[in-house]
Amino acid sequence: MESSTEPQDPAQQDEEEMRRTFFWFIGAVLVSAGLVWALQAQEQQSAKAAASGSSAQQAAAPSDAGEHVAFRFTDEAQMAEYTKVLQERQGILIRMQVLQQYFSEEQSRLSALNKDIIAKYQLDETKAYILDAERKVLVEREAPPEPPPAQPGSASTPTAAGNTVAR
């Protein structure tokens, strides 16, 4: 693949960044699916080994004197249920980490864009502007109404200033 020395326009750069982010996200999902699959295979192997082992061998196995048993399973079905819940939990944690990384990347891109707006156009990124294409000016408009306060426990997301183009 040849690399071009010509600078790309911002739309192409954004598209390329979105492609990279998309492929990174897909890769992370595939890795997490592979981890879940590996955990399921490991659980199946341990269940087979436990079923094939005799109770006399298990009784003869030494245990650590300082070991603290947090929970004792009554049967294989209960242990399989726990494994299923644990795998679901781990899958959720992995997806949350991927989403958090994506959110962090988008926040840093937004911060860079805001700094660019401030530096190039001396605008306040918290205010809304209307582009008057005929006069080739940005006109500050009144602030949009404040959003209702967030519910406790809900995720807060940044809101855009609501800039528009007048035609």
The per-residue pLDDT for 99 is 95
Cβ 28 vs Cβ 98: under 8 Å: yes
Q: Note the pLDDT tens digit of each residue in 11-26.
A: 777 778 878 888 777 8
Residue 95 has pLDDT above 60, yes or no: yes
Domain membership of residue 149 (yes or no) is no
Considering the chain, what percentage of its residues have pLDDT values greater than 90? 35
Cα(1)–Cα(92) distance, integer angstroms: 37
What range does the domain containing 82 cover?
11-48+74-124
Better pLDDT: 87 or 39: 87
Q: Is residue 96 part of a domain?
A: yes
Is residue 134 in a domain? no
Q: Are 128 and 143 in contact (CB under 8 A)?
A: yes
What is the tally of structural domains in the chain? 1
CA distance 158 to 113: 14
pLDDT value at position 55?
45
**pLDDT tens readout for residues 43-67:** 777 766 666 554 434 444 455 668 8
Q: Is the residue at 114 inside a domain? A: yes
Name residues whose C-beta falls within 8 Å of residue 100's C-beta, 6 or more positions apart in sequence.
Answer: none
Please check whether residue 164 lies inside any domain of the structure: no
